[in-house]
Amino acid sequence: MSAADAPPAALGDLRVVELAGEFTGLAGRHFADLGADVVVVEPPGGAAIRHLPPFVDDDPHPDRSLRWWSEAAGKRSVVLDLDLAADRSRLEVLLGTADVVLESDLGARLAAVDLVPDTVLARHPTLVWVSITPFTRDGPRDGEPACDLTILAGGGPMWSCGYDDHRLPPVRGQGYQSHQMGAVYAAIGALAAIAARRRTGRGQRVAVNLNAVANTTTEIATYNWLSVQSVVQRQTGRHAAPVVTEPLQVRTADDGYVTTGVPPRTPAQFAALAAWIAELGLADELPEVVFLQQASDPDRALGAPEGNATVDAMAVYSASRDAMNLIASRLPALEFFVGAQRRDLPVGAVLAPEEAFENEHSVARGMQVPVDHPELGRTVRYPGPPLRLMRTPWRIVRRPPTVGEHTADVLAELGADPGPLAG
């Protein structure tokens, strides 16, 4: 598709300068995927995450890091050495054209490289300067070393995740989720500031605190404590709660797992479940199915007009749970999921990420996005989009940049004297 044919980009009017840092990458991705011109400024040798695994064919190289690919698709790369005055001048020209700056771990170096946010904003009053830091910058814990594992441990999510057996440690979910949470909040804060700028003509600073993000991303664990001072306890495959609840995960016939979720509640659901048991020839194994058949009658069932319910609610509840568990144990996970959902029984199959990605629904919805990598001679399937914008679609405009791939182009656009370049 040529540029002229391309649909309009949602954020096509914005330029984002990302000073490559530990927590900036995914925030920059949101902007790039929504059409902003995201220029990632890297030090000579490339951003730190370029040196992190996994690599294409396990061949370590700054342009082959899949961590980099996942955080830098659609961006342009400019290499600048901020220890050099000439490169700081180039950055200054670039900042003069930017709407948003993303920065995370410059902290102690900001003054040394002449990037103290308030000073930069004085020079460029329309800039929105976004800092993504583990703790409040200049706050009591500023400078403490932190990473995804320790942020999720100290910030709350991990306390709620793990197993019924508390001799096993709490568990962290994979995928750098503290970075993910912070990235979307960075985009939210930046766009709110851009909306304000449209009326005031002025930019401002936006601070994202990952410790605070984690603390407000724990659902009931936080508001239970805030309101009634109760503490939730982790439980296998289900919500942490102040009390122990019944297991919801069932091992399936293909050695997978499903989550059976909220138990059936309506006469139609009881009828569907009883019929499913019969279809599968499992009625002999579950005599209690009779309770489901009784509960299928709207005049006698749990939701019946007051006084008319003749079915034992506990017997029905117990039979429906047993029926769901029995069926799940006899079917492959995905087959159980589709079969239950078609009967209006909401359940989920526990899929590995790659299984979710290859799933028929993901494929039908366009969640496999082809991106050309000409120098590798491959077209690579990327995951996306997280949002379907009908008029201004999410898209990956180019493969992730090689180190400094756009340095000369960007500086030429700016009219900044290219001179001898770093890196």
Partner 1 sequence: MTALEHVRICDLTGQLAGAGATKILAALGAEVIRVENPRNQGRWDMMRTVGPYVDDRRGPNLGVGFNNHNVGKLGVTIDLADPRGKELFADLVRISDAVTENFAAGVMDRLGFGYEQLRGLREGVVYVSSSGFGADGPYREFKTWGPIVQAMSGLTFTSGLPDMEPAGWGYSYMDHMGAYAMALALLVGLHVRDTTGQGQWIDLATTEAALTLHGPALLDWTVNGRGRRRPGQPNGNHAIYDEMAPHSVYPARGDDCWVAIACRDDDEWVRAAGVLGSWAHDEQWRTLAARLARQDELDARIAAWTADRDAEDTARALVAVGVPASAVRRPPERIDGDPDLAGWGLFPEVEHPEIGRTRVEGLPIHLSETDWSIASAAPCLGQHTDYVLGELLGRDADTIDELRAAGVV
**Residues in 113-142 that interact with partner 1 by CB under 8 A:** 135-136, 139-141
Tokens 């790369």 label which residue?
Answer: 77
Site for partner 1 in 20-49 (CB under 8 A): 30, 34
How far, CA to CA in Å, does 35 sit from each of 58, 193, 271? Answer: 31, 18, 50
* Of residues 58 and 284, the one with the C-beta less far from partner 1: 58
CA 413 to chain CA mean position, Å: 34
Minimum gap (Å) between residue 321 Cβ and partner 1 = 16
Given a contact cutoff of 8 angstroms between Cβ atoms, the answer to whether 103 and 130 are in contact is yes
How far, CA to CA in Å, does 206 sit from each of 10, 100, 137, 163, 187? Answer: 21, 10, 11, 38, 10
Q: What is the DSSP letter of 304?
A: S
Asked if 176 is part of the footprint of partner 1 (rule: CB under 8 A), the reply reads yes
Tokens of 113: 């490289």
Given a contact cutoff of 8 angstroms between Cβ atoms, the answer to whether 206 and 193 are in contact is yes
Q: Judged by CB under 8 A, which of 3, 390, 415, 420 binds partner 1?
A: 390
Minimum gap (Å) between residue 183 Cβ and partner 1 = 9
Write each residue from 392 to 411 as x if it is in contact with partner 1 (CB under 8 A), else as -, in one continuous string: x-------------------
Q: Judged by CB under 8 A, which of 46, 74, 264, 384 binds partner 1?
A: 384
Asked if 101 is part of the footprint of partner 1 (rule: CB under 8 A), the reply reads no
Question: In whole angstroms, what is the distance from residue 120 CA to residue 225 CA?
Answer: 41
Site for partner 1 in 140-169 (CB under 8 A): 140-141, 144-147, 149-163, 166, 168-169
Q: What is the total count of residues that contact partner 1 (CB under 8 A)?
A: 149
Identify the CA nearest to 182 among candidates 142, 155, 159, 219. 155
Minimum gap (Å) between residue 168 Cβ and partner 1 = 7
Question: In whole angstroms, what is the distance from residue 147 CA to residue 172 CA?
Answer: 12
Minimum gap (Å) between residue 87 Cβ and partner 1 = 26
Tokens of 191: 């766009």
Minimum gap (Å) between residue 373 Cβ and partner 1 = 9
Minimum gap (Å) between residue 347 Cβ and partner 1 = 7
Site for partner 1 in 314-353 (CB under 8 A): 337, 341, 344, 346-353
Site for partner 1 in 226-265 (CB under 8 A): 226-232, 234-240, 248-249, 251, 257-259, 261-262
User: Which strand (E) or helix (H) includes residue 26?
Assistant: helix 25-33
Site for partner 1 in 61-80 (CB under 8 A): 66-67, 69-70
Minimum gap (Å) between residue 276 Cβ and partner 1 = 16
Helices 333-342, 313-330: axis angle to 10 degrees equals: 140
Write each residue from 183 to 222 as x if it is in contact with partner 1 (CB under 8 A), else as -, in one continuous string: -xxxxxx-xxxxxx-xxx-x-xxxxxxxxxx-xxxxxxxx
Q: Is 258 helix (H, G, I), strand (E, B) or coil?
A: strand
Asked if 269 is part of the footprint of partner 1 (rule: CB under 8 A), the reply reads no
> In the 3-class helix/strand/coil scheme, how is 231-255 assigned residue by residue?
CCEEECCEEEECCCCCCCEEECCCC
Site for partner 1 in 355-374 (CB under 8 A): 355-357, 359-362, 364-365, 367
Given a contact cutoff of 8 angstroms between Cβ atoms, the answer to whether 216 and 226 are in contact is no
Minimum gap (Å) between residue 59 Cβ and partner 1 = 10
Q: Judged by CB under 8 A, which of 8, 287, 305, 307 binds partner 1?
A: 8
Asked if 276 is part of the footprint of partner 1 (rule: CB under 8 A), the reply reads no
Question: In whole angstroms, what is the distance from residue 296 CA to residue 292 CA?
Answer: 6
Q: How many residues does the chain have?
A: 423
Identify the CA nearest to 264 among candidates 312, 296, 304, 299. 296
Asked if 110 is part of the footprint of partner 1 (rule: CB under 8 A), the reply reads no
Minimum gap (Å) between residue 73 Cβ and partner 1 = 9
Minimum gap (Å) between residue 210 Cβ and partner 1 = 8
| Bond before 8 cis per omega within 30 degrees | no
* Of residues 187 and 324, the one with the C-beta less far from partner 1: 187
